[in-house]
Amino acid sequence: GNHWGYSKENGPDVWHKNYPVALGSRQSPIDIPRQVSHDPSLGPIVLDYDHCTSINISNNGHSVVVNFDDTDDRSVIHGGPLENPYRLKQFHFHWGGKGCDGSEHTVAGNSYASELHLVHWNAVKYQSFDQAATAPDGLAVVGIFLETGDDHRWLHTITDAMYMVKYKGSVTDFKGFNPKCLLPSNLHFWTYLGSLTTPPLHESVTWILLKEPIVVSEKQLGKFRLVLFTGEEEDQRLRMENNFRTPQPLKGRRIRSSN
């Protein structure tokens, strides 16, 4: 069937046909304006990933995803705007084409080359990710901007593994990776209530966007683009790039700044 994607005929502009919440009141991503209200009551965000357990890396036809064992609380985030700890389930990226930006959120109208999403769910209040994914306080996604410059010391472990998941539906072992190595030096953030940025676009995400980007090289980003949207058996070979949704209407939402 007409599965959703990022091309003209199945991309963000027509998602509302199958997912009417696309026109909802708390959709993501958004543009972060220059002036955001500073909320001194916002404590620091804490990422407790010390015993985190990556399982595999996969190509789901929309992005490259590193999946984690989320059967207990060994990798959680807490603090910031969160009232509970949220358990790490997966992380993935969104990126552009050669020489083009591909972040989802923008800052004062400016895009970054790519955006990393660390996806967590509220295992205190909900029994599963699927159940949490439909609850207004079910998910917390940490967004990290990627800008181009020098090589990132640890990103090569991910880009090397991307060779193994070139085709949609492929998955390969990816154990012992701790995403703490992908964090910028400081965890100052913006936070607002939003949604998944891909269908089903559930309005269940507390977004926590780190202000400081990490730096990766154009060469490393180029390896993202060797991945395909299409499966090995398909005659079409579509390069995976520009897998981002553009900013959505703020609709009166408040964005808070940590510091």
Task: Compute CA distances 156 → 39, 46, 147, 223, 225, whole Å.
Answer: 37, 25, 15, 9, 14
Residues 135-174 close enough to bind ligand FSB by CB under 6 A: 141
**Backbone dihedral region for residue 200 (phi beyond 0: left; psi -120 to 50: alpha; all else: beta):** alpha
The site partner of 196 among Zn ion, ligand FSB, none (C-beta below 5 to 8 Å per kind) is: ligand FSB
Q: Which span (65-73, 117-125, 160-168, 176-184) binds Zn ion, by CB under 5 A? A: 117-125
Min dist CB 117 to ligand FSB, Å, is: 4
Instruction: Give the contact letters, 198-227, x = binds to ligand FSB (CB under 6 A), - = no.
Output: x-x-x-------------------------
Q: Does 66 bind ligand FSB (CB under 6 A)?
A: no
Nearer to ligand FSB, 20 or 149 (CB): 20
Q: Provide the token pair at 174.
A: 């990816």
Position with the least CB separation from Zn ion? 117
Catalytic-residue membership of 94? no
Asked if 162 contacts 226 with a C-beta cutoff of 8 angstroms, the reply is yes
Q: Does 117 bind Zn ion (CB under 5 A)?
A: yes
Choose, by CB under 6 A, the member of 77, 107, 119, 209 that binds ligand FSB.
119
**3-state percent breakdown (helix, strand, coil) of the chain, nearest 5:** 15, 30, 60
Task: Compute CA distances 191 → 43, 78, 142, 225, whole Å.
Answer: 12, 13, 9, 30
Task: Compute CA distances 236 → 10, 189, 201, whole Å.
Answer: 16, 41, 27
Catalytic-labelled residue, pool 38, 62, 92, 152 = 62
Q: Which span (43-51, 165-173, 195-203, 219-227) binds ligand FSB, by CB under 6 A? A: 195-203
* Helical spans, DSSP H, in the chain: 15-18, 129-132, 155-162, 218-224
What residues line the site for Zn ion (CB under 5 A)?
117
What residues line the site for ligand FSB (CB under 6 A)?
117, 119, 130, 133, 141, 196-198, 200, 202
Active-site amino acid positions: 62
